[in-house]
Every structure is written in C-alpha cells, then in structure tokens.
Amino acid sequence: MIKVGIIGATGYAGAELVRLLSGHPEAEIIWYGSRSYVDQNFTDIYRNMFAIVEGKCLDDNLPKLAREADVIFTATPQGYLASVLTEEILSQTKIVDLSADYRIKDVHIYEKWYGIEHKSPQFIPEAVYGLCEINREQVKKARLVANPGCYTTCSILTAYPLVKEGLIDPQTLIIDAKSGTSGAGRGAKVANLFCEVNENIKAYGVATHRHTPEIEEQLGYAADQEITVSFTPHLVPMNRGILATEYASLKKVTLPDGSVDYPSTEMVRAAYEKYYGDETFIRLMAPGVCPETRWVEGSNFVDIGFVIDERTHRVVMMGALDNLVKGAAGQAVQNMNLLFGLDEAEGLRLAPVFP
C-alpha cells in the first residue's frame, strides 16, 4: 500500500483527494494535514466521509511526514511548498504539488504574476508539469510533480492538438472560461457566500488571472514559439465544473488533395483523434456535440468538442471537466499512479454523477 500524506486536507481539493483515495485499492491515507482543524476528526469537517475514513487533522510537519509517507499531496496556498521544500525531503518521498509553485519554469514570470518571491527556485528545473496526457513519461520518473491548475488543464487540453498540428494561429487564441464556485476555495469570504454567487455570473481577473502564463507556457511548447493568449475566467453559480470556450483563427493548410485551404471538420477531428484517441480520460464528442459540465461531474473525464465557423474561419473549441477531479485531485491521483507504476486509471474509474 502506498502511504499517502495530504497537506491541506480540509480544502475542497484536499477533501476530494480523500474521497478519491478512499476508493483507491493501493493507497492509504496516513496524514490528514490541516492547520485550521488540528485535532478535530476529518469527518467532523467533511461528514460525507463519515464511516468511510478515520483520522484526526494534524498540523504541518513536512519533514516528519516525508519520513513516513511514500507520497505527499500539497493542496496548499501559493508559496507554501516553495518555502519549506528541501533536498532531504525530496530524497525521502515523492511530492505532487497542487499549488502553482513549480508549474512555471521561468521564476520571474511566477514572481510577477503571483506577486511573491519564490523561496526554492532550485527545484523548478526538475519539477515535471503533471499534465498526464502530455507529459506521461516524464511524470513516471519524477520526484516532484507540479499538478496543473484547473483552468489550465481544461484550457490546454482543449486546444493542444490544434496548436501542435499547426491548424490554428495560436496568437489568436481567446479562452473564455467558466468555473463552478468550488474553484474559489473554502475560505470564508463575502464574495463567495451563497447569496453573492447564486443568480449571478461575472468575469473576474480579466487580463490578469494567474493561470494565463501557465497556459501560454504549455501551449507555447506545443506551438514551438512564445505565444500570448486572452484568458477570461468567469464564476458560475454551480458547485463543480469548468467549461472553456476557446476561439482561434484557422490557418490555411495543405489539404490531402494538394490544395491549400482552411482545415475541414474531418482534419480537425483527426488531429484530436491523433493525440487523444487512446486516452482513457479524454472523451471526444461527436461532431456538433457541445461538452457540458454536468456530464463530467464527479469524474476524471475531460470532454472535448469543436465547431468550425465557416463564416469567420474560426474554430470554436470547447472543453469541460470537473475542476476538483481532473482539474485537481483526480489528476493528482493520476500522477500518483504514474509515479508508482500503477494502472493510470486506478481509483479513478468513476462514472460521472448526473443529475
């Protein structure tokens, strides 16, 4: 059994780790880390897990935990892991970090967008960006996995094949993303009260959201050039789910018959199939079918679809996932499975819950 420690177990992502790991046949949680609820039963905070798991919440003690756990999930505020990580810790355990601390290779970009100093940039080079479908092989050999953000997982996977295959101009990419409210975390803020969120939709962080550079870096690798994208997140009155609606101008390409024209629906579909046809957790929608967050809720799936607009020569790509699963805890478990040589889907074969 893999011994698992969670730092930040009483946030929404941490608690989702508990839910997923409770059904994982090869993993056992040995540490429910939660500064806010030290000595309280985890199940007094998350009663959904009552009679399923047992354990009291523990204060932070990464060195001790590193000696006891085979893998540590850090579902912590930005900067926490960077401020405590050491070579000794990394030599004793594997870490899957759900914060942004090691996602961005250029530490200056991290510090600019997050507004904090990075305390351990020496570990950035070895950290593997844990987008399993793209970086599977590197993850398997890693000590430190930077688990991607929820918006970024959705945004990148939705556009990746078309960027990689050169079917769209990546500089025209506009990502209009919509998220359920669990993405805002469990902190006691007026802005996230029921009455403030319910019966409302709003954009926020326009042109300044921190997931922007993460998307640009990863899609830039695919495009083999530096790219700049527009990314606008929105808050939707629902618990879970992210929908990314992405717009880009199609690029004229050489068609099979030798002519040069905009790619057809079949060519775009083929690009998606090339990269995702064998993926367990990516479901490609039939032509014309739009992904919806309700179809992935509670599961590790990403549903992806697209429509070509022949009037504007743009493609509208759409991706939907559950922000707490594929956008956080599910992908973290998927990374754990890779780290330990398990079936990548172990513990993650959960049918989406509808309605």
Which positions are catalytic?
150
Can you tell me which of 7, 75, 150, 318 binds a copy of itself, judged by CB under 8 A? 318
Exactly one of 56, 119, 136, 234 binds a copy of itself (CB under 8 A); that residue is 234
Whether residue 147 contacts residue 328, with contact meaning beta carbons closer than 8 Å, is answered with: yes
Per rule CB under 8 A, is residue 19 in the interface with a copy of itself? yes
200, 206, 209, 212: CA torsion to nearest 10: 120
CA dihedral (174, 172, 221, 123) positive or negative: negative
Residue 316 touching a copy of itself (CB under 8 A): yes
Place of tokens 């993926």: 279
CB of 289 to a copy of itself, least distance (A): 8
Of the pair 144, 267, the CB lying nearest a copy of itself is at 267
CA dist 318 and 292 (Å) reads: 9
Q: CA 32 to CA 15: how far, in whole Å?
A: 9
d(CA 128, CA 177): 25
Residue 260 touching a copy of itself (CB under 8 A): no
Nearer to a copy of itself, 81 or 180 (CB): 180
Q: Is residue 303 involved in binding a copy of itself (CB under 8 A)? A: yes
Question: Rounded CA gap, 254 and 256, in Å?
Answer: 7
Task: In whole angstroms, give the CA distance from residue 90 to residue 60.
Answer: 16
Stretch that binds a copy of itself, among 84-92, 132-140, 265-273, 301-309 (CB under 8 A): 301-309
Q: Is 230 in the site for a copy of itself (CB under 8 A)?
A: yes
- State the number of binding residues for a copy of itself (CB under 8 A): 82
Q: By CB under 8 A, is residue 166 in contact with a copy of itself?
A: no
- Detail the DSSP E strand segments found in 42-120: 57-58, 71-74, 94-97
Question: Is 109 near a copy of itself (CB under 8 A)?
Answer: no
- Answer for the pair 331, 147: CB distance below 8 angstroms, yes or no: yes
Choose which of 82, 157, 229, 348 interacts with a copy of itself (CB under 8 A).
229
Of 48, 50, 45, the residue nearest 33 (C-alpha): 45
Q: Does 351 bind a copy of itself (CB under 8 A)?
A: yes
> To the nearest whole angstrom, how small is the minimum distance from the Cβ of residue 122 to a copy of itself?
29
- Asked if 52 interacts with a copy of itself (CB under 8 A), we say yes
**Least distance to a copy of itself from the beta carbon of 75, Å?**
15
- Alpha-carbon dihedral 315, 320, 324, 330, rounded to 10 degrees: -90
Under the binding rule (CB under 8 A), the answer on residue 355 touching a copy of itself is: yes
Least distance CB 260 / a copy of itself (angstroms): 22
How far apart are CB 265 and a copy of itself at their closest, in Å? 12
Q: Is 294 helix (H, G, I), strand (E, B) or coil?
A: helix
Q: How many CB atoms lie within 10 A of CB 251?
A: 16
* Sole window of 98-106, 139-147, 157-165, 235-243 interacting with a copy of itself (rule: CB under 8 A): 235-243
State the minimum distance, in angstroms, from the CB of residue 63 to a copy of itself: 30
